[in-house]
Chains A and B, each alone.
Chain A
Amino acid sequence: MLPAMDVSEATWIERARKGDRRAFDRLVDAHAAAVWRVAWRIVRHREDAEDVVQETFLAAFRSMPEFRGEAAFSTWLHQIARSRALNHLQRASERGRRASAPLDADREESVPDRREPSPLRALESKELLRRLAECFEKLPAPWKAVLALRDAESLSYEAIAEAVGIELGTVRSRLARARFALKDCVDGGTR
């Protein structure tokens, strides 16, 4: 049974499946904002997110004949967006093009001092977001991937394991490391 959807969208989808680009344009209008949010939450970089969104819709258009409607169109589209976004993270990492300044040597070697109270929760929301963006950028791509898929996209560990191609146990340990690295970085900016 097809998932419930707007009748006009079903029509656009059917037309787009037959190659009607104008019908697909309507789908772009309807879904671009949501796809943008998916892309941005994973890559957290404006230009990259724009690339991901464009690639997503291009890929989706070319794959429309294969869309059978087993899942909602938006679900299918978001899966493509996630896949493209993960590609982007990986490529950015390989190029090292956005490698951030290294942490100082002391921090690299030491376990964070966990006896002091964390000032993170005292941060203004805007400041927290700013630091989060800055620190997220410094994470290696594999950590970004699991963190974004879990905390931003709320995927299950199983879904993350499948999307990234790693074992369940690795998802769990990598996620913990990514979270505490991110937390320590955000905290570090306040001390």
Chain B
Amino acid sequence: MSDGSDHPLESLSAYLDGELEGAPAAEVRAHLERCARCRGDLDDLRAIAAAMKEGAPPLPGELTDRIKSRLAREGAGATVVRFPRRLWIPSAAAATIGAVALLAIVTLRQRPAEPVPIEPETQASKTLADAHPPEPEAKRDAPPLRKRVAVKEPAPRNAPAPPPRFDAMTRSEADERRNLAASDAPRAAPPMAVGGVAASREARTRPCDFDLATPLAGWTWTVRDRTEAIAALRAAVASTDGRVRLVLDPAFEVAGSPSDLAAIRSAIERLGAVTPDPVESPSEPAECVRRVVRLAEASPE
């Protein structure tokens, strides 16, 4: 990396970290001897690195009490499950066979999530990345399978799809949820928003929105064919180390073709950690299930 004037910026950064040895380190040292600007940059980077270690405010006084309260309330039973985007699978084909929604029910045991790969930036809004475009990724992830909010009403196709809904909300997320409608408009349509279904603000504040206090969290996906459905199953199982029980909602049998459903059902059985039996979660609000049904019926193209 260079700024176009032969200043070895990337090497300078690595040099700062002691990551250069031998000839590369000698080159940087030689450059530093004759380049006051880079010496200054190096000092600046050191100052920033030092400052990055500072500035943590003191532990909020009541935080440990809140932690203990949550432990008492939901210590063994709550669900916090992540869907690493890295594990989401891309769309298989543009042609749509049918929409199949899967209801995933998380088992009560939960281990800490594996480190989640951070994706290259995808924000529509401009940030510092715009001034410094990202480097080509050595390992570029496939586009994600779009996880959608269960919605109430179908909307015109090609409408912007809502942002991914996370299964478990933290407090601040819950607050933000109320403002989600405002965040829809400026976001670019995701790459898989074929046959997109708009989510209304009302729909998201209904009982389908789960939070950490909900004993069983529900996920819904809208997928466009059996390939995506099976990929979603695999991603769910992989991302939770098998501690997820997937249930094929019986309502969706009317939405997919028999062969698709047979393939999906077979995949569920092969994955092992899931059940092929259509079982409704006892804690799942009935309205939520019905809404999912409506989504499934509305989505096939």
Contact = CB atoms under 8 A, between A and B. Distances in A.
Interface of A: 19, 21, 24-25, 28-29, 32-33, 36-37, 40-41, 46-48, 50-51, 53-63, 66, 80, 82-84, 86-87, 89-91, 93-97, 99-100, 102-103, 107-108, 111-112, 114-115, 117-118, 120-121, 125, 128-129, 132-133, 135, 138-143, 145, 147-148, 150-152, 154, 157, 162-167, 169-170, 172-177, 179-187
Contact of A61 (B14, B75, B120, B134): B75
A14 B119 CA distance: 38
B34 interface: no
A86 B116 contact: yes
Among B112, B120, B138, B166, residue most surrounded by chain A Cβ atoms (within 10 Å): B112
Contacts of B17: 150, 157, 175
B118 A32 contact: no
B262 interface: no
Given A95-B163, A170-B135, 6 more contacts: A46-B60, A114-B3, A140-B127, A142-B118, A165-B115, A170-B139
B139 A180 contact: no
A141 to B, nearest CB: 6
B110 A95 contact: no
Given A177-B1, A183-B48, A172 B71 contact: no
B128 A66 contact: no
Interface of B: 1, 3-5, 7, 9-10, 12-14, 17, 19, 37, 40-41, 43-45, 47-49, 51-60, 63-64, 66-68, 70-72, 74-76, 78, 80, 82, 85-86, 109-132, 134-135, 137-139, 163-164, 166, 170-173, 176, 183, 186-187
A151 B131 contact: no
Contacts of B55: 129, 132-133
A29 B120 CA distance: 36
Contact of B121 (A48, A103, A141): A141
Nearest to A110: B131
Contact of A147 (B52, B115, B135): B52
A180 to B, nearest CB: 6
Given A51-B170, A53-B67, A165-B118, A114 B41 contact: yes
27 contacts: A21-B75, A36-B59, A50-B63, A51-B171, A51-B172, A54-B66, A54-B67, A55-B80, A66-B111, A82-B115, A87-B82, A96-B183, A120-B44, A121-B43, A133-B55, A138-B128, A140-B127, A142-B134, A152-B53, A166-B137, A166-B138, A172-B19, A173-B1, A176-B1, A179-B13, A179-B48, A184-B132
